[in-house]
Amino acid sequence: MDLHVSLAGRGDLTARIYRQLREAIVDGRLRPGERLPPTRELAQRLDVARNTVGAAYDRLTAEGFLVGRVGAGTFVRDEPVTHTPRAPRRGAPGGAVYPRRLWRALPVPPPTGPAGPPPPYDFGVGVPDATLFPLEAWRRLVAAELHRSTLLTAGYADPAGHAGLRAAIARYIGVARSVRATADDVLVTHGAQQAFDLVGRVLIEPGDRVAVEEPGYPPVRRLFQSLGARVVGVPVDGEGLVVEALPRAAKLVYVTPSHQFPLGVPMSLARRTALLGWAAQHGAVVLEDDYDSEFRYGNRPLDPLQSLDRGGRVVYIGSFSKTLLPALRIGFLVAPASLRPALRTARQLTDWHGETPTQAALARLIDDGLLARHIRKASRDYAGRHERIVGALGRDFADWLELVPSAAGLHLCALRAPESTVDLAEVVRRARAAGVAVQELADFCAIPPGRPGLVVGFGAIAADRIGPGLARLAATFRSVA
């Protein structure tokens, strides 16, 4: 291993080597059983006499920190050293530098990874069922790309993404969503969130107004705030975004027209036409987030805004986080030609490009028809879950909730019934204690107190757990009401 020992300053060299190795063992940077460099090698690296390093090793061995193995080398002792108190692992210094005030105001995301066992009945939002992912096909395609000689080609890749994947995406969204695009129109990103960030970097000046849906998707709102935009919430009704309520000076309008997040209503054709007309009149850009339109359970899908746009004002954004897995971190945007050079430059300046083998494997998954097959299979599964939840909410929760009609996506929204006064925050809290995870609609509202309601996801919960989970939730409602 490349072991760093600092000999800056004055004093006994052996003592300094001993002390730093001892601290590294005690705080866990050198783990039990780990092999240390030979004394000759470390002495050459530190430009000291071999005996200087040997004396430090000998002292650590005598104190039980190290053990020598004939013919193998010197190792950190496997057993913990009980006679020496273990010091806490040293981290970076606390520091006296701080971010801009805006960043201190934004909420800190929770730690990633499992913080404990998942709830038995998880109605969380925005998460697909990982068990439906075509793992064997994906493993085969990735393995094939990792064996290709192109992986060993020196240099960086195109910031716009793998050429084969861009072409595959253009064909796929052209057939599945009637999006008008060629491979040159597509830019591959690390999920939809990076696509939003690139568009914001290219279009937003500090102080610009950006219109977002209210209620809406909090990460997008916070992202635009972090770029210095004045973010304005625009109400949503049964036909989608209320175009008449848009601020006149808005430079960018973010919408989820196919399946409004989180209410679930689609934007009517009249509203779509009105929004495009408004954007043309005011010189604004429309950011269309088509995040889970692939999963539909009834009704004919309306055309995307992008396919209706004749003035080049719509940036269409999609993601494979819902159709496949969030862990893949692959999304894309389709932009008008006037924005493409700046977006490619912004991508290169941000992180240059994504993982070429993963993008190439996804291109094969699309071109071989495996993605379409997976979506058909997953849609049948999700449709059953959707039907169960719709039935249960209408039957068992009618005294407290009023379902918002929705025929797409991986979640449903239910508003508090007009005659009900039940405390939904208390319901959510008690439900969590009973093993049922569900979210308040108010969590997605920027303007307090927010609309009272619940958002119920069904991507992360197995079909056979929906009934028992909703039964527990109904019992919680009865206990609160």
Which of 388, 390, 384, 386 has its CA nearest to residue 402?
390
Structure tokens at 458: 């069904």
State pLDDT tens for residues 304-318: 999 999 999 999 999
State pLDDT tens for residues 217-254: 999 999 999 999 999 999 999 999 999 999 999 999 99
Q: Residue 276 — pLDDT band, cuts 50, 70, 90?
A: very high
**pLDDT number for residue 103:** 86
**pLDDT number for residue 126:** 87
Q: Return the higher-pLDDT residue of 381 and 99.
A: 381
Percent of the chain with pLDDT over 90: 79
Q: What is the mean pLDDT of residues 315-331?
A: 95
Q: Residue 361 — pLDDT band, cuts 50, 70, 90?
A: very high
Domains of the chain in sequence order: 13-76 (1.10.10.10), 121-127+375-480 (3.90.1150.10), 134-372 (3.40.640.10)
Structure tokens at 427: 């319901």
**pLDDT number for residue 104:** 83
Percent of the chain with pLDDT over 70: 94
Is it the case that residue 84 has pLDDT exceeding 70? no
Q: Which of 71-75, 104-108, 206-210, 363-367 is predicted with the least confidence, judged by mean pLDDT? A: 104-108
What pTM, to 2 d.p., does this model score?
A: 0.86
DSSP string across 250-305: EEEEEE--SS-TTT-PPPPHHHHHHHHHHHHHHT-EEEEE-TTTT-B-SSPPPPPH
Phi, psi angle pair for 25, to nearest 5°: -75, -45
Q: Calculate the average pLDDT of the chain.
A: 91
Please tell me the distance from the alpha carbon of residue 237 to that of residue 301, in angstroms, as a whole number.
19
Q: What is the mean pLDDT of residues 64-73?
A: 92
